[in-house]
Chain A
Amino acid sequence: MQRVGYVVLYVILIIIAIVQIFPLFWLFLFSLKDNQQIFAKSPFSLPDHPHWENYLKAWQGNIGIYFFNSVWISAVAIVLTVLFASMATFAITRMKWKLSKLVLGLFMVGLMIPLHSALIPLFKLYLSVDLIDNPISVVLSYTAFHLPVTMMILLGFYYTLPKEIEEAAIMDGCSVNLLFARIILPMTTSVLSTTVIINMIYNWNEFVFVNTFISSDQYKTLTVGIQNFIGQYQTDWGPIGATLIISIVPIIILYIFFSNKIVEGMSASAIKG
């Protein structure tokens, strides 16, 4: 009886997995086709003869620069976001001060701002401090707009951390900074890698901020670069698919790396526990 249950369970899990992974497979097929095959034939169909030149087309131009920009802008923003969010969450959940609830509320409201209503004011703000067409504006926007969601995810974890640990640490004469850096941060490794992954996905695929704040080619990111392939009236979808594949591969590699980190982090904390 239990065996049957397991089989059913696995069948369901695998069907879900197929549904979830199919787009990647589809996108790959798509990237090897021409428009005619993409639009007129079944999406499952294999390319008649693979158009590898789509990848050549995609790799032309500034994609190397875009790629580099995507990497460093995402990375800097992730570090800032995760660090600042951890610090703030630590202050709100573990320290005792009167306004902590109010400040937490402020961050939660930050979650609710629709992007497009902030766009023109934000542009004016950066303009007034001469940060337009400067990647700092993008890094700062990513950090600010993803702080709330990052903190929300961290929050649930910080609440569950046992109080005894920090009490013991402080008794031992450990400073707040040491407590945070040596004890709290390592204890949250698994959720930290979760937030890193989430921020990575957000930043990597973000489009509106870069498109609005950046005009020089040398600072544009990969997602915006993809739009260079999308024209006024017609579209050349094969190379767009190829560009998308090129833009997804690094994030998949990073993701696999980081989700292994989660497991490592877990076994590390299990040993401590």
Chain B
Amino acid sequence: MKKLKALSLLLALTLAAAGCGSSNQAEKDPAGSGGTKTIKFMHLWPEGTNAPQNKILNEIIADFERENPGIKIEQEILANEQYKDKIKVLSASNQLPDVGMAWPGGWLQPYVEGNKIASFDDVIDRDYRNKFVDGTIEAFEVDGKTYGLPTDLNIAIVYYNKRIFEQNGLNVPTTYDEFLHVISTLTNNGITPIALGNQERWTGSLWYMYLADRISGNETIVNAVNRKQSFEDPTLIRAAEEIQRLVDLGAFQKGYNGATSSEAESLFTSGQAAMYLTGTWVLPSFTQGENFTQEFKDSVDYFKFPTVEGGKGDINSFVGGNGGLFVSEHSTVKEEAKRFVKYFTEKFGERALGEAGIIPSYKLNADDYDLPELYLKVLKDLNDASSITLFADNIMTPGPAQVHLDMIQSLFGKEATPEEFVKAHEEALAKEAGE
């Protein structure tokens, strides 16, 4: 019986002891202990998905530790959703890791406004800036200060199956009318034109962002978000109408609004759908991945999103975005962490493409690499890009971004009219701006 009592008391004691026991915090605090300083680095590049990427990461960390004796990098690897959730809890408690992964624009803004992340202006110079693709560092700017340094860069492109196109006598469309012709030919021949996993909604958003870009130019949505104009613009309504026209034509596979992106991807990679719009992050697996058949790798190609007659956008404008790293404002090793991030982004930029097939935000010369043809084509197109419009959830802050994503699904499901679609955006953006 004594055991029972002891156990129940133990719990009470644990809690009580813990309540007055925060004095040992200093022991745990790496910065306070004088000897080694530990930088906590939270990221989402596990070995399981892209082993070379993870290898580069570990090697850069090892190099940095060797060159900077007394500094240790401690990694925590999470999956995407879990990372975003955990960052949310950590920031609410002022416990952000010293270094973490960041996304530009709308993701970044609340953290900057909440004074949670540090600016890099004191560690980067013109020399550093010149090493990166124009706009990738700027994407992390808020009010003229830089709050993140870029790592990878992705654009969305329309992948298509060459074999299916040939069998149906189709050419790569460069105009929207040609694109519509491709779709009607395919549907007439009983082939699913486009694979779309719109359960996740950002996938459908890519289609809208491109149509909006091609019809109303690359400024309109950004201006509407910045409240320089209304979202209820006729051209943005027209883009929404085109989405529903594609739906009416049967452009997307059955059940697209309930399909995950991996379902859609598998539909495309197994040759059951002719086209698939997604980011360049699939390039490593589409060209070299052991998960796909040689037949698929031989028949996959891509084209730039076609232009719309009378629209303001040009064919060399892309929808895309880049990732990056932030440093916590309240980090006890802030200076070291900033140095690490600067070091890491440069080294990663140098090595990512050649060793892991990841396109970095770093300027590089495609000729230096022995890469599959598809890569060379993407790199060339990136070089010629007239502009890159950020992904919708990078342009908008989280509140309006969620409204956008919800409305995308309703638009594709024809549960909202194009007018309702833009109206919901306008209301959310106005509310966010406090109008």
Additional 16 contacts, C-beta under 8 A, given A127-B95, A177-B4, A230-B80? A87-B4, A87-B8, A123-B92, A129-B19, A132-B95, A212-B85, A212-B86, A216-B76, A228-B47, A231-B44, A232-B49, A234-B49, A234-B50, A234-B289, A235-B49, A235-B262
Per the 8 Å Cβ criterion, residues 251-271 of B in contact with A are 262-263, 265-266, 269-270
**Interface residue B285 (Cβ < 8 Å from any Cβ of A):** yes
Q: How far is the CA of A132 from the CA of B281 in the complex (A)?
A: 35
Contacts of A130 in B (CB 8 A): 18, 21-22, 24-25, 28
Contact, CB under 8 Å: B44 / A120: no
- The total of chain B residues at the interface (CB under 8 A) is 54
Evaluate contact between A39 and B270: CB separation under 8 angstroms: yes
Q: Within 8 Å CB of B291, what residues of A?
A: 34-36, 236
Residue pair A231, B86 in contact (C-beta under 8 Å): no
Q: Tell me the A106-162 residues at the B interface (CB within 8 Å).
A: 119-120, 123-124, 127-132, 136, 140
20 pairs, A vs B, C-beta closer than 8 Å: A34-B291, A35-B291, A39-B265, A40-B272, A80-B11, A123-B89, A127-B95, A128-B22, A130-B18, A130-B21, A132-B95, A177-B4, A212-B86, A227-B82, A230-B79, A231-B46, A233-B282, A234-B282, A236-B48, A240-B48
Closest Cβ of chain B to A191, distance in Å, is 19
B79 touches A231 (CB 8 A): yes
Task: Determine if A40 and B269 form an interchain contact, defined as CB atoms under 8 angstroms apart.
Answer: yes
List the B residue with the shortest CB-CB distance to A217: B76
Q: How far apart sit A214 and B263, CA to CA, in the bound complex (Å)?
A: 32
Q: How far is the CB of B309 from chain A (nearest CB, A)?
A: 34
Contact of A83 with B by CB under 8 A: yes
In the assembled complex, the CB of B103 is this many whole angstroms from the nearest CB of chain A, namely 11
In the assembled complex, A229 has its CB within 8 A of some CB on chain B = yes
Q: Mark each residue of chain B from 1 to 42: 1 if its CB lies under 8 Å from any CB of chain A, else 0.
A: 100100110010011001101101100100000000000101
| With contact pairs A123-B93, A129-B19, A232-B49 given, residues A227 and B270 touching in the complex (Cβ less than 8 Å) | no
Residue from A84, A127, A212, A234 having most chain B Cβ neighbours under 10 A: A234
B377 to chain A, nearest CB (A): 20
Q: Find residues 155-176 in chain A having any chain B CB closer than 8 Å to their own CB.
A: 175
Q: Are B279 and A129 interface neighbours, CB within 8 A?
A: no
Q: Kindly name the residue among B88, B89, B279 whose own CB sees the greatest number of chain A CB atoms within 10 A.
A: B89
Say if the beta carbon of B369 comes within 8 Å of chain A: no
Docked CA distance A228–B51 (Å): 12
Q: Within 8 Å of chain A (Cβ to Cβ): is B77?
A: yes
Whether A131 pairs with B18 at a CB distance below 8 angstroms is: yes
Whether B292 sits at the interface, judged by CB under 8 Å, is yes
CA distance A216 to B19 in the complex (A): 23
CB atoms of A232 and B80 under 8 A apart: yes
| A34 close to B49 (CB less than 8 A) | no
Closest chain A residue to B80, Cβ basis: A232
Contact yes or no, A234 B290, CB < 8 A: no
Q: How long is the Cα–Cα vector from A187 to B344 in the complex, in angstroms?
A: 63
- A178 to B95 CA separation, bound complex (whole angstroms): 48
For window 51-65 of chain A, which residues contact chain B by CB distance below 8 Å?
A: 57, 61
A93 interfacial contact with B, CB 8 Å: no
Which residues of B sit under 8 angstroms from A140, Cβ to Cβ?
A: 14
Knowing A129-B18, A234-B50, A236-B49, say if A36 contacts B1 (CB, 8 Å). no
Total chain A interface residues with beta-carbon distance under 8 A: 45
**Chain B interface (Cβ < 8 Å from any Cβ of A):** 1, 4, 7-8, 11, 14-15, 18-19, 21-22, 24-25, 28, 40, 42, 44-50, 76-80, 82, 85-86, 88-90, 92-93, 95, 97, 262-263, 265-266, 269-270, 272, 279, 281-282, 285, 289-293
Q: Smallest CB-CB separation from B323: which chain A residue?
A: A232
For B261, the closest partner residue in chain A by CB is A233
User: Measured between alpha carbons, how far is A129 from B289 in the docked complex, in Å?
Assistant: 47
**Complex-state Cα separation, A212 to B272, whole angstroms:** 40
Task: Please name the residue on chain B nearest to A228 by beta carbon.
Answer: B46
Q: Is the CB of A39 within 8 A of B48?
A: no
Contact flag A39-B82 (CB < 8 Å), given A119-B89, A130-B21, A232-B45: no
Please state if B77 and A228 are interface contacts (CB–CB under 8 Å): yes
B1 touches A181 (CB 8 A): yes
**Which of A178-205 touch B at CB < 8 Å?**
178, 181
Cβ–Cβ < 8 Å partners of A227 in chain B: 78-79, 82
A contact residues around B97 at 8 Å (CB): 215
Do residues B279 and A233 form an inter-chain contact, with CB atoms below 8 A? Answer: yes
- The interface residues of chain B lying within 8 Å CB-to-CB of A232 are 44-45, 49, 79-80, 281
- Let me know if A178 and B45 touch, CB within 8 A: no
Chain B nearest CB, measured from A27 CB (Å)? 17
Bound CA–CA A136/B8 (angstroms): 15
Contact of B89 among A120, A128, A217 (CB under 8 A): A120
Residues from chain A with Cβ under 8 Å of B281 in the complex: 232-234
Complex partner residue of B269 from A36, A177, A215, CB under 8 angstroms: A36
A100 close to B (CB within 8 Å): no
Residue ID in chain B nearest A237 by CB atoms: B262
A229 engages B48 (CB within 8 Å): yes
Q: Does A211 touch B at the CB level, under 8 Å? A: yes
A241 at the interface (CB under 8 A from B): no
Q: How far is the CA of A232 from the CA of B183 in the complex (A)?
A: 31
On whether the beta carbons of B48 and A239 are closer than 8 Å, the reply is yes
Q: CB distance A39 to B262 under 8 Å?
A: yes
In Å, the complex CA distance between A35 and B291 comes to 5
| B76 and A129 form a contact (CB under 8 A) | no
Min distance, Cβ B299 to any Cβ of chain A, angstroms: 14
| CA A40 to CA B281, docked complex, whole Å | 21
A129 to B290, CA, bound (A): 48
Does the CB pair A230–B48 fall under 8 Å?
yes
Nearest residue, chain A, Cβ from B291: A35
State A139–B78 Cα separation when bound (angstroms).
21
Contacts of A127 in B (CB 8 A): 93, 95
Bitwise, A235-248 to B at CB < 8 A (1) or not (0) is 11001100000000
Contact of B21 among A36, A120, A129, A228 (CB under 8 A): A129
Contact flag A136-B263 (CB < 8 Å), given A34-B290, A87-B8, A231-B49? no
By a CB distance below 8 angstroms, the chain A residues around B285 are 234
Q: Which residues of B contact A123 (CB under 8 A)?
A: 89-90, 92-93, 95
